[in-house]
Chain A
Amino acid sequence: MDRKVLAILAILISITAFMTLGCAGKNNNPTPIPTQNPATPVATVTATPAAGVNNSAIAGIDPSWLNVSGESDESLPEDSIPTPDASDFS
């Protein structure tokens, strides 16, 4: 096997792996980093449902459905820019 070929392949694969891992690192929905202090007692987690909760009903809810959009101002103030009167130019 030609060493040059091997060297080029090694470089290409390295670059590809680097890019792939880089893309994987840019996950749009990264797993939240736990902010809870490990020493915090588990008892502070208050919303744990009682055993037997029918969670299958909520398993399909996509958290992104809970995002709110906000409303932008769609007014067009540029329509109020005054233009010259013909009477001022005759």
Chain B
Amino acid sequence: MNNNSINRTLALALLALAICRSVISFNSLMDVLWHCYAFLKVKEGNYMTIGTKKWGIVAVIMIFISIVAISASTLSVMAATPGTYDQQILQARYDITSANVGFVTGAMSDVASQVPQASNLQAPAEKLSSDLTTLQGYVTSVDDSGFNSYVKNTIIPDTQAAQSVIKSDRQLWSSWNVTLATKLQLAKDYQSLKTTHDSGINSAWVELGNARLQYYNSVMSDNDAIIANMSSKGLDVSGMQAAENNARSNVINPLQAAVSSGSGDSIKQQLTSNCLGDGTPYSDHFFASDDLARLSSISAKISSVGNLSNTVRQQLADVNSKLSAAGSALQAAGTSPYSGPQNNDVWNNMTAASNELKTILSELQGSSSTQG
């Protein structure tokens, strides 16, 4: 290969790289044109062998296709990131449900197979298996509220109904003349099913503990970044820091200790008693506390600006009134789950204050840029 063909190959490679960069940055599109020009400037193309030309073209196409594929996959991964923890958590919760339901259906099927008269157990067992299939759909679609609702309103009632059939059938064993050997076999099978259940449920709680912990840590990490940014701009972050410290000491650190122990029971105890948001006996309401502290800090910062118009001051007074109402509702809830209208009182007021602050900020920053 002579110098010209080497130059041309290099020019092709640089052009391909420029094309790759242009996928990421619009400005780099100019590089493509520059490198295209450079490629055309490489003279004596006739000395280039046909084989080298073909390989150069193939190389450019391959690099281009690879970069497009990598870019597409990167974009899809980035797009999936926000829901990643939600889906991991739901999958772990599904696994807990599946272990519990599997224990019930396994025991029912075992009785039905050994006691012919207990064929009435088959239908509820099949219904529960069908329920699990439906529940998996909520995991796939990352539908948290749908998952909760389906467990509460369908799976738990179906399991309770199945248990009733089991118990009513058990009372008939004597009249069905179930032999002692069958009873012993059923008891043995039950223990085997319980061992499988206990192992599965322990793994599922560990899985859920890890997923929740990762999610909580990502929330704290994001919050730390905002605190650092706000602090660097001179905003008060003490309220946000206090909310975070509280969340770490009461929820995250105990969960971290349980996860580190590897004990499914310890993790279950933590997850069913403490949470960062709402819904367990100790509900930290970190999200509400943190948002309230942040909005209050920003409102105070805007209020400290001199020479605001009366209209803006009135708007800020309205914002502060809403934040105060949200704070009162939050204080009333304390660390218990929300009850009655508390959830709406907190979040409706906070959302309204947020929207109003956005309007104020947009107008002030817009006028700042036009003045400046």
Q: Which chain A residues border B367 with CB–CB below 8 Å?
A: 48-49, 53, 55
Interface residues of B in 350-364 (CB under 8 A from A): 350-351, 354, 357-364
What mask results when residues 37 to 63 of chain A are scored 1 for a CB within 8 Å of chain B, else 0? 000000001111111111111111111
Contact-size category for A: 35 or more
B177 part of interface (Cβ distance < 8 Å): no
A47 vs B368: C-alpha distance when bound (angstroms) = 12
Out of B101, B197, B230, name the residue touching A65 (CB < 8 Å).
B230
Q: Which chain A residues border B64 with CB–CB below 8 Å?
A: 12, 16
Is the Cβ of A86 less than 8 Å from the Cβ of B190?
A: yes
Interface residues of A in 1-15 (CB under 8 A from B): 1-2, 4-5, 8-9, 12-13
A63 vs B140: C-alpha distance when bound (angstroms) = 33
Contact-size category for B: 35 or more
Is the Cβ of B57 less than 8 Å from the Cβ of A89?
A: no
Q: Select from chain B the residue with minimum beta-carbon distance to A48.
A: B367
Q: Select from chain A the residue with minimum beta-carbon distance to B186.
A: A89
Is the Cβ of B358 less than 8 Å from the Cβ of A66?
A: yes
A21 part of interface (Cβ distance < 8 Å): yes
Q: Select from chain B the residue with minimum beta-carbon distance to A75.
A: B279
B156 part of interface (Cβ distance < 8 Å): yes
Is the Cβ of B275 less than 8 Å from the Cβ of A17?
A: no
Is the Cβ of A13 less than 8 Å from the Cβ of B19?
A: yes
Out of B29, B187, B298, name the residue touching A90 (CB < 8 Å).
B187
Q: Which chain A residues border B107 with CB–CB below 8 Å?
A: 84, 88-89
Interface residues of B in 17-36 (CB under 8 A from A): 19, 22-23, 25-26, 29, 32-33, 36
Which one of A16, A24, A56 has the greatest number of beta carbons of chain B within 10 Å? A16
A33 part of interface (Cβ distance < 8 Å): no
A82 part of interface (Cβ distance < 8 Å): yes
Known contacts: A68-B347, A74-B276, A82-B160. The answer to whether A88 contacts B363 by CB under 8 A is no
A67 part of interface (Cβ distance < 8 Å): yes
Out of A9, A13, A55, A57, name the residue touching B304 (CB < 8 Å).
A57
A75 vs B96: C-alpha distance when bound (angstroms) = 14
Is the Cβ of A19 less than 8 Å from the Cβ of B277?
A: no
Is the Cβ of B360 less than 8 Å from the Cβ of A47?
A: yes
Q: How far is the CB of A41 from chain B (nearest CB, A)?
A: 16
Q: How far is the CB of A55 from chain B (nearest CB, A)?
A: 3
Q: Select from chain A the residue with minimum beta-carbon distance to B281.
A: A75
Q: Which chain A residues border B61 with CB–CB below 8 Å?
A: 8, 12
A35 part of interface (Cβ distance < 8 Å): no
Known contacts: A53-B307, A81-B101. The answer to whether A58 contacts B272 by CB under 8 A is no
Q: Select from chain A the residue with minimum beta-carbon distance to B36.
A: A9
Is the Cβ of A84 less than 8 Å from the Cβ of B36?
A: no
A1 vs B33: C-alpha distance when bound (angstroms) = 16
Q: Select from chain A the residue with minimum beta-carbon distance to B108.
A: A84
Out of B96, B187, B306, name the residue touching A89 (CB < 8 Å).
B187
Out of B33, B93, B167, name the residue touching A78 (CB < 8 Å).
B93
Is the Cβ of B60 less than 8 Å from the Cβ of A8?
A: yes
What mask results when residues 86 to 124 of chain B are scored 1 for a CB within 8 Å of chain A, else 0? 000000010011001101100100110000000000000
What mask results when residues 336 to 372 of chain B are scored 1 for a CB within 8 Å of chain A, else 0? 0100000100010011001001111111110110011
Q: Which chain B residues border A75 with CB–CB below 8 Å?
A: 148, 275, 279-280, 337
8 examples of A-B residue contacts, CB within 8 angstroms: A19-B23, A49-B364, A55-B368, A63-B358, A63-B362, A71-B343, A73-B279, A89-B189
